[in-house]
Chain A
Amino acid sequence: MKKDIYKLRIFLFSLLGLTVLILIYKAIVPFGKIIYAFNPCGNSFIISKIKPAERVEDPRRNKILGLPLGNCAQKITGDPVYFNLETQRGFDRAKITLEYRRLKNKIIEIGVLADKERHYRLQPLENQIIDNLAWRKIEQDGVILLQREENYNSVDEFFNNPPNKEKVLTYHYDLPAEEKINNYGNLLASSKAFSAGSVRPLRGAYQFYTYIGGEDFDFNFIFTNLKTNDKDDNIKIVVYYKNSAVEQKEIKNEGEISIKLPGPPDGFYKIAISASDDVITEKIATTQRILSFINRVWLAGTPEPGLINLTTDSSEIFARTINPNSLQKILVRDKILKLDETYQQFSQVAEMPITNIRLAKDDVIIAGDGVFSFSNEAFYNPDYKKVNKNTDVDRQGIGYIITSYEPRDFEDGWQVRTVDFDLTKAYRYEGVYGFIISVPGLLVEDEINDWVEIGEIWIELEGRTLLNKILNIEY
């Protein structure tokens, strides 16, 4: 009897020891590779549920769904959604395989959290706009050129002799922005002189492009503060030339900042103003002709706004306000964008390459994927336009798309696709990697029946082996 008890004790403690070893193995991943699987119906500590709850439906467990590999799925009805991956150690690469199907949505992207400011590094999972093009394709070193007509024999030829910027779209590829404006002197001569009063007071942070062509760089900003709290507000201006900061100035709360650069090199400059929403830019005075605000402007509230005109090349214009006195009908070319609720975003698709926007009231945030200017003369966008959910290559007269996305044959039903991420550039906070699934245009509150349904998610992680780590410590 005693022998049997000892045997049982040995067996139970061996099982405990084995369990501890397995847990330590799963935590340190000594061979550097591990795969985690997520099922919407399961409860996993490693991969969290998809959230927020208001943008997803309850998971459905039903064999009639026709799921090829599992028997549970969850619909995403709003964009974007998030999930986390909690690991005991860091990894270098992740291969995420998603089993999904969709109704109506053209672009699905997945991304990893890149920094603590909650920026995500997105990768395309599917882009039906590109998949459906029957254009000629050239591939070179992971860069794909799609052309409506075969005008280029290689990607290098395209880079060396690019076509008119208006005919090119990019998708997940950073094509260098235009560097010089041809015949800038003629543009200066033919257009009206810049008027300091033409830029409306702006609220909060913003960025804009300007252009220097044989002239000095001269800007003067006047800032005031709404003082809604006792905290100091830092106001920082950074001037970038070819993606490098060339000048920087800072003040607190309010005051005047003057930036002068004598004899700067010709080209486009980006000016970034970092400020809280309490800071108002009352005035921007400059000798520069071009002022194009990038993606977003918050028109500050003023006692008598008058009629506000904006020019933009955005494909879709978004408007939002937190001020009930700013509710209005905004004219987007000849269409009406109704801004009839506060704290809600409304949008209007712009069907022309350049659109004029007219507002009767300010204290409104206007946003889009292009640039905004307060006059036609001040308008210029040096960036290439990107493929988005509203892209219509025929209507826009596009002849070329340059991308890192490999087009695939479009199929209905369940898909299984894989995306790679470099986790060395990802932000891991308290052992957690954050991920996003982005489906532009997927809104809960619209009455359109569109969704993306997720079956299973597999995450294959790869990193340094235990041996590599030990050897690194020795040396």
Chain B
Amino acid sequence: MSASPLRRNALIALLFLGPNLLGFLVFTLGPIVISLIGSFTTWSLRPSVPLKFIGLQNYVDLFQDPNFYFYFYNTLYLLIGMPISIAGSLALAVLLNQKLKLRGPQGTLRLSLVAAALTLCIAGFLFFIGSHSAAFLIFALGLISSTGIYFGSIGYRTFYYLPCFTAGAGTILLWMQLYNPNFGLINQTLVAFGDLFGWQIDPPGWLTSTKSLLGFLPLPEHFNNGGFGLGAREAMIMMGVWAAVGGNNMILYLAGISNISPELYEASDIDGASGWQRFRFITFPQLAPTTFFIVVMGLIGGLQGGFEQARLMTEGGPAGTTTTLSYYIYTQGFERLDLGYGAAVSWVLFIIIMGITLINWRYGNSAEAE
């Protein structure tokens, strides 16, 4: 007696799907349901708090919580980095896709060797006269330029992608030191640069400062606005751009550009289009699906972002200015042990993400249809 082929198939499918489906139910779908239900209760890690159903109370509290609006503002503010890094990724991809080979027999190899030899000589000379730092910098310059010239796009791509690949606790600590107001590389360079021209430069306080570029706005009192300037949020943005600009988005743009039909460019050559016109009327429109994907994914990731930076660099400070919604959820859950309230915040975050993604979808699709 054999089972019908459909049932047999379903059984085989279940065997293959089983382990994954089990994990999916226990660690993804189950927690989603628990979280949703939990957000309507007094769910707490404190054993003294009895578990009670309280309806919409967590959500009501949340909308009356001035900090929620403050941290939502911070989350949105940190998204400023996204268009900058996306534009940067696109620019890098376009630049990497240009003709980088030199003419002449082995012109590329020769130039690469010349660059290596020249920088080695200068580095050697600088080392000899005792400027070790300058020698090291020139040596690095030589290494980068000879690799880049010889390998072209692939060579440069390696250097651009490194910050993205190594991103994590290590690079966050690294930037924390770069931003040190007194002896971090950034402020030291700014001051040294000022000295060169005889200017008195008062460098930004970076991670210790509540200033922001929107600090001139009449923001509510509890937003702890430190006035106009560069502060902790700008520091986060700059670090984020550094990590993202040569990362996955650039790789996606490179792949997108290589898929554009060469005939389009040939036709534009016949019409005598300039480089900018080729970008404006061929490259950019042809990359619209890639850009759309990157923006959607970037917004989804960005709205959930800022946790690691806040936890490692600033503990959400100074004065809460680097606390994002994801860090707020963490502190509510694991520091105040109030899981129910944390879950409510996470669901509001989900609704925000969903809403923005849907708007994106509608707007993005209609833009593509044009």
A is bound by B: no
Residues of chain A touching chain B, judged by Cβ–Cβ distance below 8 Å, are: none
